[in-house]
Amino acid sequence: MEKKHGLLLINLGTPSDITPTAIKQYLTEFLLDRHVVDLPYFIWYPILKYIVLPKRVPYIINHYRKIWLEGVSPLLHYSQLLRDKLNYYLPNVRCELAMTYGEPNMQSALENLKSCDELTILPLFPQYSTTTTLAVFDKLKQLTSTNPILARAQFIRDYADHPSYINALYLQVKQAFLKHGQPEVLLLSYHGIPERYINKRQDDYIERCELTTQLLTEKCQANGINLPIHMAYQSKFGKGKWVEPNTSDVLQKLANSGINNIQVMCPGFSADCIETIYEIDEQNRTIFLDAGGKNFYYIPALNDSDIQINLLSDLIQHTETYSGP
């Protein structure tokens, strides 16, 4: 009898609605995770409750209102489409979707996969980080006793240097250049992390981002695409020092130096979300144009594209996994 294979895709999470209550609930769960903010609870919780949330909830609601798609956030919209397409194109695999924070949650997804003989866990974070991937694995550990299938699950740590991932990024870049012309500069913008996490947690996230950039640059050059490819980090939160250079600063400096045409890609985001659609394609577009730039194009995430379907199909068949959580 043929074995039933399960695939669990896990992304970060999203508010369930664009209401103050939903935004507050999501941010509270997200920002109280020690993987994300590692301050002692008795210090951080009052700051979060009385300072951070009262300021950020109204601010974020306005941003989400601009990008909300068909009753859900873009992240959930594209992630659900991706799950559905994988189920269609991989009939021998049962694919489910879960979020680290919010809905759909991991427990409900695992319930739908409990009849599978084998299970692959794929966090949709190409570059491993203790702030994202480790948070997934630690949450799954808490569910092991009630979900026996986790004892035989295989986990994909990351795919920052996987040939299929690099090729997928290259194809996305190639499509953008064919449609909009080759820019003077391609900027790769990754989500930032606090600098202290690199040494304190021995987090190799920055190394993984740099490796992705290097391999994509080599892939482009090998196929006749020659232009400066820069990398930077976005989405700084709080007052501590984060990894640099900052995406907004790089865009401003490039425009000030006479660069008129730029395209920006976010390789670390598997699906478009508030950080890409609003932060990059609106806020950072404005920064570049206001500084003298002429043309700014954001290259979309892989989302539910055929490129992404082919990538993930290949990952689950030809990627080194390990037992856990």
The C-alpha R_g of the chain, in whole angstroms, comes to 20
Q: What is the pLDDT of residue 325?
A: 53
Over the chain, what is the mean pLDDT?
96
Is residue 241's pLDDT more than 90? yes
Percent of the chain predicted with pLDDT > 70: 98
Is residue 156's pLDDT more than 90? yes
Is residue 178's pLDDT more than 80? yes
Average of pLDDT values for 288-292?
Answer: 98
Is residue 296's pLDDT more than 90? yes
Three-state SS string across the chain, please?
Answer: CCCCEEEEEEEEECCCCCCHHHHHHHHHHHHCCCCCCCCCHHHHHHHHHHHHHHHHHHHHHHHHHHHCECCECHHHHHHHHHHHHHHHHCCCEEEEEEEEECCCCHHHHHHHHCCCCEEEEEECCCCCCCCCHHHHHHHHHCCHHHCHHHHHEEECCCCCCCHHHHHHHHHHHHHHHHHHCCCCEEEEEEECCECHHHHHCCCCHHHHHHHHHHHHHHHHHHCCCCCCEEEEEECCCCCCCECCCEHHHHHHHHHHCCCCEEEEECCCCCCCCHHHHHHHHHHHHHHHHHCCCCEEEEECCCCCCHHHHHHHHHHHHHCCCEECC
Predicted confidence band at 1 (pLDDT cuts at 50, 70, 90)?
A: low
**Cα-based angle 48, 53, 59 (whole degrees, multiple of 5):** 145
Contact 169, 311 (CB under 8 A): no
Distance CA 11, CA 135 (A): 11
Q: What is the residue whose two structure tokens read 């068909």?
A: 70
Question: pLDDT by residue (tens digit) across 179-236?
Answer: 999 999 999 999 999 999 998 888 999 999 999 999 999 999 999 999 999 999 999 9
Distance CA 267, CA 26 (A): 24
Distance CA 188, CA 250 (A): 11
Q: What is the pLDDT of residue 3?
A: 81
The structural domains of the chain, ordered by start, are: 5-159+306-323 (3.40.50.1400), 163-299 (3.40.50.1400)
Of 253, 287, 281, 252, the C-alpha closest to 269 is: 281
Report pTM. Answer: 0.95
